[in-house]
Amino acid sequence: MFEIGSSLRETRTRQGFDFTEMEFRTKVRAKYLRALEAEQFDQLPGHTYIKGFLRTYAESLGMDGQLYVDEYNSRYVAGEEERPLRTRRVPTQSRRQRQHRESRLVVVAVTAMILLTALVIAAWKFGDPAEPMVQGVNAPSTPSAAAVAKGVSITAARGASFMEVRAASAAGKPLYRGTLERGQVKRFAPQKLTITVSSPRNVIIRVAGVRVKVPKSGQLTLPRGS
């Protein structure tokens, strides 16, 4: 069991995002995101919407959205039939109007999610491999096959780790900043890199296919791949 709201808030804060940016990224209204972080679920429309918002919010921060949905189900649904959290009786016409507004909101959110996914896939398939990643975006350009063979790969083999990758020195241009979840791999074309990870034991780093030791400090500078 973990705290849903505090986990979302800590991850968002650690990655440097405010509610305005998260509203743009998730297409979920900021007041609903605040309610999720405060676990004020009675301020949201119902179980179905809450779980959809939780999944979208968590995945936009690079986490497993299903874990948050499962935790919510175990604490607030627990196998019961889905029913609205608000039980106050309202006139039929007002209820229908509210349901219509909520349905439109869900359609907009789902459409935005589909468009965002399409853009990420397009960027992954057609992006320039040499183009550096913008800070805070969790989908870097894919290097060519030759660059991958000579370049750097970073794998979260034993668990999640927050990671920052910069060109050249620790003060260099940011190429990646975010949480690498267990099983995820990030690859970079051959170049001099400074890598900082929060959990060195969870991460495996290879240069041109050869594993290098990650210091306990979590920071190392790699020469340009050969």
Q: Over the range 129-159, which residues count as b (16 or more CB within 10 Å of their CB) and which as e?
A: beebbeeeebbbbbbeeebbebbbbbbbeee
Contact (CB, 8 A) for 221 and 169: yes
Q: What is the average pLDDT score of the chain?
A: 81
Say what angle helices 30-38 and 4-14 make with each other, to 10 degrees.
120
Residue 184 has pLDDT above 50, yes or no: yes
* Per-residue pLDDT tens digits for 112-146: 889 888 887 776 555 444 344 444 444 444 555 55
Phi-psi region of 53 (alpha: psi -120 to 50; beta: other; left: phi over 0): alpha
Please name the residues in contact with 106: beta carbons below 8 A apart, sequence gap of 6 or more. Answer: 49, 52
All domains of the chain, ordered by start, with CATH? Answer: 4-126 (1.10.260.40), 145-222 (2.60.290)
The least confident of 39-48, 56-65, 105-114 is 105-114
Instruction: Report the pLDDT value the prediction gives residue 126, as an integer from 0 to 100.
Output: 57
* Percentage of the chain modeled with pLDDT above 70: 78
DSSP alpha helix (H) spans, 127-204: 145-150
CA torsion sign for 97, 102, 105, 107 is negative
Q: Considering the entire predicted model, what is its pTM? A: 0.36
DSSP string covering 51-64, please? HHHHHHHHHHTTS-
Long-range contacts of 207-210 (CB under 8 A, 24+ apart): 207/151, 207/152, 208/149, 208/150, 208/151, 209/149
